[in-house]
Amino acid sequence: MLRPQEYFSVNTESTSMLINLLSKNQIKRLFFSSTAAVYGAPGLPGFIKECEEKHPISAYGISKLAAEQHVNEFLSKPGNSGTSLRFFNVVGTAAVELSDNSRENLVPILIDKFKKNESPIIFGTDYPTPDGTCIRDYIDVRDVARAHIAAINHPTNLPQALNVGTGSGISV
* Catalytic residue numbers, as ranges: 60
Number of residues that make up the chain: 172
Please enumerate in sequence order all residues whose Cβ is within 8 A of that of 127, keeping only pairs 6 or more positions apart, or say none.
Answer: 45, 133, 134, 135, 171
- Give the whole-angstrom CA distance, residue 74 versus residue 22: 9
Residue 30, CA distances (Å) to 19, 40, 64, 97 in order: 8, 24, 15, 25
